[in-house]
Amino acid sequence: MNNEQNILFKLMGACIIFIIVFAPSVAFTQQGKIISSYGPTNQTETFDQIKRARMAVKSERAKQHLEMLNSRYDLSKKTTVELIMSGGKPIPIGPTANLRGVTWEQLNKMTPEQIKEKGIFPYKPLPFPDHAEGGMLFPVMITKLLSRLVRFDLDFDLPEHILPDPAPAIYLTTRPDLGDIAKGRLITIDNYYEIFNGILNPKQLEGLRLLVTQFPQQQFNATEDRRTDNHDGMLGVTCFDCHANGHSNGATHLVGDIRPQEFRHRIETPTLRGVNIQRLFGSQRAMKTVEDFTEFEQRAAYFDGDHVMAAKKGVNVLERGSQVHFMAEFMAILDFPPAPKLNIYGKLDQTKATPSELRGEALFNGKAQCASCHPEPYYTDNSMHDLKAERFYKQELANGMMMAHDGNIKTFPLRGIKDSPPYMHDGRCFTLEDIVEYFNLIQQLDLKSEEKKDLVAFMRAL
């Protein structure tokens, strides 16, 4: 190649790079408005002005959201005293999804295309109570105990009977002999020391202190752009405000790393029980360690994945060696709840299980193929799968959320699953009965009604 050819070649390369880099941004500005990835760090409105604007839309948005929930689900309470979570709260019973002019049996026989065409899939992605707004949102059962977690602009949407215990049981891998350590108490900065001193080593105790200490977050901070009018709320949130007692209280959030806003997933707080046997963290992020996820929560998820906003609102950067490590060390001893019917292989003990549970186990491993993604002993393959639920619904807006593809989602472990409603990364299945209906459709299994009951009975024993 001579010199001129060389220059021409480089010029052409530069043009192609220019087109690749700048063409999409030109497309985004075509309607005369930039859809920015960044939040407004340079606020020109006061706290009072922001609050007034939010209050002006609060009741209308809440009404629309409740209408959507009521059209999709039966929110009335169904429980029995015999079926309880490890902490003693009754397990919700379903299915809670409302069907539109069909029976479950008819739905079983329809193809994904037919269900999509008729618009009758019962488990579309669940929008956040005010999807355009988002942020951390805590159930009423928690805000009643900790008033610093009240948001002035948004109320929690799901009824308490489909949420976990407000103060879940705590089991430690290091001291199984102690059983439940929480005994109905919600662990906070006020009581953690007296309850755990003498049971944990000093590093774990310090890790737990950090897990119950408030740090600034997007809605709970001291800037004009906060969503709390409570003085204590301005100090931030703690890890255990959502992962109550190392489990979950059903607090919800929008995933930090998808743009634009309508494509972001609602996410339901997962339990931290059993993180020790897991290899991937976050429903979609696939962080490789609990340490990485802890840093990610604080630096990024707390501020919707916006590190610029995080700097403004006072992000608390944790020190890896002496803080992140200690927090992770405590999280890694949070055990699954006891499952007295499982043997050392994580399978049902034939002498302890009921006939229905045993039939459920056979289905789980056989016809229903659940075990291909949820193998014993912990019922996770520590991987991610794309269930392609979008085969069943059209891509359209519902209350500010795009009913879009979920993509690859982590296989959450099913050990102790009875304690963790609502289910799925966004909480779209309120009960284990809904889960069975969901997978029955997703996998096109055509299960009989008795088979569905057996599968639920098996999962309650895990």
399 binds ligand HEC (CB under 6 A): no
> Hey, is 401 helix, strand or coil?
strand
Query: What type of residue sits at position 286?
Result: A
User: In angstroms, what is the minimal distance from the CB of 31 to ligand HEC?
Assistant: 31
| Element spanning 440, H or E | helix 432-442
202 preceded by a cis bond (ω within 30 of 0): no
Q: Does 276 bind ligand HEC (CB under 6 A)?
A: no
110 or 439, CB closer to ligand HEC? 439
At 455, which helix (H) or strand (E)?
A: helix 449-460
377: cis peptide before it, omega within 30°?
yes
Give me the phi and psi of 440, to 5 degrees please: -60, -40
Comparing CA positions, the residue from 93, 104, 100 lying closest to residue 433 is 93
Could you tell me which stretch among 89-97, 171-179, 226-234, 408-416 binds ligand HEC (CB under 6 A)?
408-416
At closest approach, how far in Å is the CB of 97 from ligand HEC?
Answer: 15
Please list every residue from 353 through 372 that binds ligand HEC, using CB under 6 A: 368-370, 372
Minimum distance between the CB of residue 90 and ligand HEC, rounded to whole angstroms?
18
Written as six digits, the tokens of 414 are 């099913």
Q: Is 401 in the site for ligand HEC (CB under 6 A)?
A: no
Q: Interacting stretch for ligand HEC, rule CB under 6 A, among 1-9, 14-22, 65-73, 282-290?
A: 282-290
Residues 127-186 that bind ligand HEC (CB under 6 A): 136
Quote the CA–CA distance of 282 and 273 in Å, as a whole number: 14
Burial string for 393-402 (b: 16+ CB within 10 Å, else e) reads: beeeebbbbb
Residue 267 makes contact with ligand HEC by CB under 6 A: yes
Q: How many residues bind ligand HEC (CB under 6 A)?
A: 48
**Segment interacting with ligand HEC (CB under 6 A) among 60-68, 162-170, 228-236, 250-258:** 250-258
Query: How far apart are the C-alpha atoms of 140 and 282, rounded to whole Å?
Result: 25
Question: Residues 239, 153: contact at Cβ < 8 Å?
Answer: no
Site membership for ligand HEC, residue 273 (CB under 6 A): no
Work out the number of other CB atoms within 10 angstroms of the CB of residue 264: 22
Query: Binding to ligand HEC by residue 412, rule CB under 6 A?
Result: yes
18-26, 91-99, 153-161, 405-413 -> range binding ligand HEC (CB under 6 A): 405-413
Confirm or reject binding of residue 424 to ligand HEC (CB under 6 A): yes
Record the tokens describing residue 2, joined without a space.
């001579």
Closer residue to ligand HEC, CB minimum distance, 54 or 367: 367
Which of 65, 226, 313, 425 is in the footprint of ligand HEC by CB under 6 A? Answer: 425
Note whether 269 binds ligand HEC by CB under 6 A. yes
Of the residues 69, 102, 205, 373, which one makes contact with ligand HEC according to CB under 6 A: 373
Residue 255 in contact with ligand HEC, rule: CB under 6 A: yes
Q: Is 254 in the site for ligand HEC (CB under 6 A)?
A: no
CB under 8 Å to 69, separation ≥6 — which residues?
A: 75, 157, 158
For 257-284, the DSSP string reads T-SSGGGPPEEEPPP-TTGGG-S-BSTT
406 binds ligand HEC (CB under 6 A): yes
Query: Any contact of residue 243 with ligand HEC (CB under 6 A)?
Result: yes
In whole angstroms, what is the distance from residue 214 CA to residue 196 CA?
A: 19
Report the SS3 class of residue 340. coil
**Least distance from ligand HEC to the Cβ atom of residue 446, Å:** 12
| Ramachandran quadrant class, 447 (left: phi over 0; alpha: psi -120 to 50; beta: rest) | beta
Closest CB to ligand HEC among 43 and 205?
205
Binding site for ligand HEC (CB under 6 A): 136, 237, 239, 241-243, 251, 253, 255, 267, 269-270, 272, 275, 281-285, 290, 293-294, 297-298, 327, 368-370, 372-374, 385, 387, 406, 409, 411-412, 414, 417, 420, 423-425, 435-436, 439, 443, 455
